[in-house]
Amino acid sequence: MKIRLLFLLPLLVSLIPAAPSHAAGDRYALVIGNAKYPDADSPLKEPINDTRDVADELKRDGFSVDVGENLTGDGMRHAFDKLYGKIKPGSVALIFYSGFGIQSARQSYMIPVDAQIWTESDVRRDGFSIEAILGELNTRGAGVKIALVDASRRNPFERRFRSFSAGLTPVIAPNGTLVMYSAALASVVSDAGGDHSLFVQELLKEIRVPDLMAEETLNRTKMGVTRASRGEQVPWISSSLAEDFSFIPGAAGSRPTATTPPPAPPAPPPVANNPPPAPPAPPAPPVAANNPPAPPAPSSPPPAPKPQVEAALPPPQPPAKPADPAPAPNADGGPSAAALAEDPTIKGLTAKIASNPDDVNALYRRGQVYASKGAYSLAIRDFDDTLRINSKDVEALNNRCWTRAVIGDLQGALKDCNEALRLRPNFVDALDSRGLVNLKSGAAKNAIADFDAALRINPRLTSSLYGRGVAKQRNGSAQEGAVDVANAKAMDPNIVQEFASYGVR
């Protein structure tokens, strides 16, 4: 339901001259999902969908992405060699892996689908050491190395060893490395049987939040997974980054430094009998990808200045240049384009769009940022342009559905969600969004059906759980609805306020 803030990386603007540049062309990613292991009882359900979602997000972000599904040993070796060949000094290299992993001899290994593993020595022969891969990337000159590993699953190979350690082991990695496992060291989680893993859902939700450094993004992911699983799954993070790095460009450059103090506000003109202007509203906080902000309260335009009264003495001075009037808000009550024009991320995206009006990634990303700041009509305009270029962009359809639902265009929102689900059946975010549309439309039974479908895919989707509870209460099942609402509030204490911001109370 909530706006999905994808992490685009085409614009890194640094205000510190000595900071290294990580342009889109210097960012490389290898995304691997292994699901069909002959030794397993059945294919894993999560890795392929997770891999495709992560790859899509990175492509939107300007990464050069290679994707591998159900790779054999030769396939994984070729994929890593191809990644090594792209690396230049100072590059960003990111690896995402979902599948089976095993620890052996104090190292963690990613396992290809054709591995023949009966002893621990087979692990070292057929597996791919995470440490060795990060070391090779470092040797090739990668400045930032990121490994996101969703491989803390009970696998079919370990039972063959006389003694083994479950889960993964710590990574001893070179400087400039950020590693995250989906679960704690030496622990495992079961494949939930859904279409996506909890780890990837929380990762993508947090990675889309603007103005966060990468370490904070992963720490927020860890907190989200821990909270959603009620402490049963606690990811592990290791960082030796020697420089600031943000998944969303502009975050580092937007922070004031000693060498770039913020400009002083202009002095107001002398106006007789006028009260001082009200202080500006504080900026909206960062918003998670699937967690949009409350719509901002409409701001009233400043009162018209009264005519200046001339004094007899002393002689009149030349009139001061009047200050520029405050930008008027949009019709939806959100900030105007002029008010947001100097936002670092929006400014950079607007420049890209000016140079190429059909830059679909920049249009989509700016729409997300506008929505996160409550500028809903501006967001819809950018999503309109995104869909004009690619009418089958399901992410843009879902985002426009949600944004339209928030501002009350329920008929248009329903049309967008239906189209997104036609193009991608069981798209959990679109089911969640359509549940909101039906809830606001008074179609409680349809809302319950949508939220039920979303929760079958992701049982820990708090917004669907709360929305279903409200819908059940409205449909006459007060006791069942109260249970859903209570469980959702236990998972996320802010969920009531969040839905109130959508107009659902």
Kindly report the CATH number assigned to the domain that includes residue 474: 1.25.40.10
- Which pLDDT value is given to residue 179? 96
The pair of structure tokens assigned to 78 is 């070729």
Measured distance CA(428)–CA(421) in Å, rounded: 9
In a domain, 328, yes or no: no
Kindly report the CATH number assigned to the domain that includes residue 109: 3.40.50.1460
State the DSSP string of 284-349: PPP--TT-PPPPPPPPPPPPPPPPPPPPSSSPPPPPPPPPPPPPPPPTTSSPPHHHHTT-HHHHHH
- Which pLDDT value is given to residue 161? 62
In a domain, 16, yes or no: no
In a domain, 331, yes or no: no
- Which pLDDT value is given to residue 384? 95
In a domain, 290, yes or no: no
Decide: helix, strand or coil at residue 229: coil
- Out of 209, 239, 269, pick the residue that ends a domain: 239
Quick check: 305 and 282 in contact, CB under 8 A?
no
- Which pLDDT value is given to residue 8? 37
- Out of 239, 265, 292, pick the residue that ends a domain: 239
- Which pLDDT value is given to residue 165? 63
In a domain, 279, yes or no: no
Decide: helix, strand or coil at residue 237: strand
Please state the domain count of the chain: 2
User: Position 186: which residue type?
Assistant: A
In a domain, 98, yes or no: yes
Measured distance CA(11)–CA(4) in Å, rounded: 19
Measured distance CA(494)–CA(502) in Å, rounded: 13
Residues of the domain holding 484:
426-505
In a domain, 119, yes or no: yes
In a domain, 111, yes or no: yes
- Out of 181, 209, 239, pick the residue that ends a domain: 239
Q: What is the DSSP letter of 259?
A: T
Q: What is the mean pLDDT of each run of 10 residues along the chain (505 residues)?
A: 45 36 71 91 90 89 90 96 94 95 88 87 90 93 95 79 69 90 86 79 86 88 90 91 76 36 40 42 40 43 40 45 47 74 81 90 83 87 94 90 92 95 88 94 95 85 90 94 90 82 86
